[in-house]
Chain A
């Protein structure tokens, strides 16, 4: 019986670890990551021939195109995006002006917002729009599933050549937040 007591004691001793109050695992609640994802969106390069209707052969004052986007259509971007910076970069080497309308469309084909770039003259235009979580503009951005682009050229009699270019670029910087909810 004494043996049993001794053995039980020895075994029990090895079970007893020392607790440590130096560690505070509650700090895990404060852990957060704030990566920034830089993602290109739509772009186009239009030269004079892009404004010629391939069927009629006539110069077309307005061109339209669109694309679906999936930047905001997954759970991460829906729940973890805290800030969106939309970047637009336009370079015009034509000797005439253009209008570009950038439509943000939701999944039900409703227009959420329109960015108008009017009278874009020969030269370069760089613009940034910063949308913070909680604003209407931010919500419009993250609800965007499609972007429509309408390009309109101003009437002009100035001569054109194939080297002329209207180069439109767009991208977003997404500031994400994980943890510390």
Chain B
């Protein structure tokens, strides 16, 4: 079983197809999906439609604190020795994360006023993060034999969700300098599980009444679940509930907002936030909670003169464990993007029909900042990039990113246009792709669209 999990993780990490960082497409106006990152992107199209189910395929998996090679390098050292060394270096701020999106459809249309571009669609998303529960992993490794140790439940933080997202956005060009956009999202949660605010410790010591004393001390531990994993459903029932992508009853609402502003002919700033929203879980909810302090020194026989006592059941009943159904709210992981760009190198293509201010430049360099809010703390990244329009049919963006995974993350994004057909993709963590043993994260992004832009439509 351990091997299966590891192989799945390794597969996700070592995906050698189009792996990319979604940040690469921030401001990449040639790709309509950039509107999902910043609805204020200066799109240059009359209309677009994604190829259904192929317009946006995105996957990311990663972890911090070690690389695959630290455990699986074929170096003759016992794997348990290597694993123990890795686990000793990890702390409770390290995390394992995965995010996946599949666009079902994505359509955009410029309104007759020429200023407004509406876009809408539906995509499925999985998002999960598990923080490394340092002290609980120690418990799993060693058991409770070391009576000098305590095991902190605060180390246990995780959140995972599977949902469908309906979205509708509008992008408005306010002037040659300023474009703003907003997107409304309706979330339909298929499955959600979270446990993010736990306190208390587990302690084992020598006892007084019996040989050992095990204690839950000051515990406030809660796990909330909702959706198809709810107990009591057969596999067939769960399959039937795939319709929950479309409308589960556990619904939520979110908002994206973004803008692009040309300071002058050379400098552009842009920024956006994604998924400022929540989901209210009211159906098929299960809550597991442990609250309070409880000691266990064994089962105390009292030799009753008459009758018998169910000692085991008495101890079970004393456990501060509560299982029930409770409505709860989960916040979506809010993402923030910001960038400052410098554009240079005039293009010959300066048609008056073009609405895109940026298209008059061939090159762009810039700095991007990114942050996503996670249960323990926000995760950030800083990217410098170079964007170049090689030809009408080929645009590229090279990035260098410093983030929690690595200080040497080089990425490349490409977008091609052949007539109305657009295909895009990108590779992030190029150094990791070429040397998987040094890899701890990888992403995949790929998509195809039909785009009618002004050049294409020009008579």
Contact = CB atoms under 8 A, between A and B. Distances in A.
B298 interface: yes
Interface in A63-88: 63-70, 87
Contact of B299 (A16, A54, A67): A67
B416 A11 contact: yes
B271 to A, nearest CB: 28
A82 to B, nearest CB: 12
A29 B3 CA distance: 6
A29 B18 CA distance: 30
Interface residues of A, number: 60
A22 B73 contact: yes
Given A30-B79, A38-B144, A7 B303 contact: no
B298 A170 contact: yes
B10 A25 contact: yes
A137 to B, nearest CB: 20
Q: Is the interface of B mostly helix, strand, loop or mixed?
A: mixed
A132 to B, nearest CB: 18
A108 interface: no
Contact of A15 (B18, B141, B142): B18
Interface stretch (B111-119, B206-214, B251-259): B206-214
Nearest to A174: B143
A107 to B, nearest CB: 13
B298 A23 contact: no
Contacts of B212: 38-40, 171
A25 B72 contact: yes
B211 A28 contact: no
B368 interface: no
Contact of B434 (A18, A21, A27, A69): A18
A44 B300 contact: yes
A18 B436 contact: yes
Interface in B53-89: 68-69, 71-74, 78-80, 83
Nearest to A6: B394
Contact of A43 (B16, B210, B308): B210
B106 interface: no
Interface in B1-28: 1-3, 6-7, 10, 14-19
A41 B6 contact: no
Interface string A35-48: 11111111111100
Contacts of A178: 2
Contacts, number: 187
Most buried by B among A25, A42, A169, A170: A25
A50 B14 CA distance: 68
B140 to A, nearest CB: 6
Interface in B400-437: 412, 414, 416, 418, 423, 425-427, 433-437
A44 B309 CA distance: 14
Interface residues of B, number: 68
B303 A42 contact: no
Contacts of A87: 211
A74 to B, nearest CB: 13
Contacts of B437: 20, 22-23
A31 B2 contact: yes
B207 A33 contact: no
A170 B301 CA distance: 12
A13 to B, nearest CB: 9
A52 to B, nearest CB: 9
Given A29-B3, A38-B145, 13 more contacts: A17-B14, A24-B72, A31-B83, A35-B140, A38-B212, A42-B298, A43-B209, A43-B300, A65-B302, A65-B304, A67-B311, A151-B303, A171-B212
5 contacts: A4-B418, A24-B73, A40-B298, A42-B300, A65-B303
Interface of A: 3-4, 6-7, 10-11, 14-25, 27-33, 35-46, 50, 53-55, 63-70, 87, 89, 149, 151, 169-171, 173, 176, 178-179
List the 10 shortest-distance A-B pairs measured between CB atoms, nearest first: A17-B16, A35-B143, A40-B298, A28-B3, A171-B211, A24-B74, A27-B79, A36-B143, A43-B210, A20-B436
Interface of B: 1-3, 6-7, 10, 14-19, 68-69, 71-74, 78-80, 83, 139-145, 204, 207, 209-214, 296-306, 308-312, 393-394, 412, 414, 416, 418, 423, 425-427, 433-437
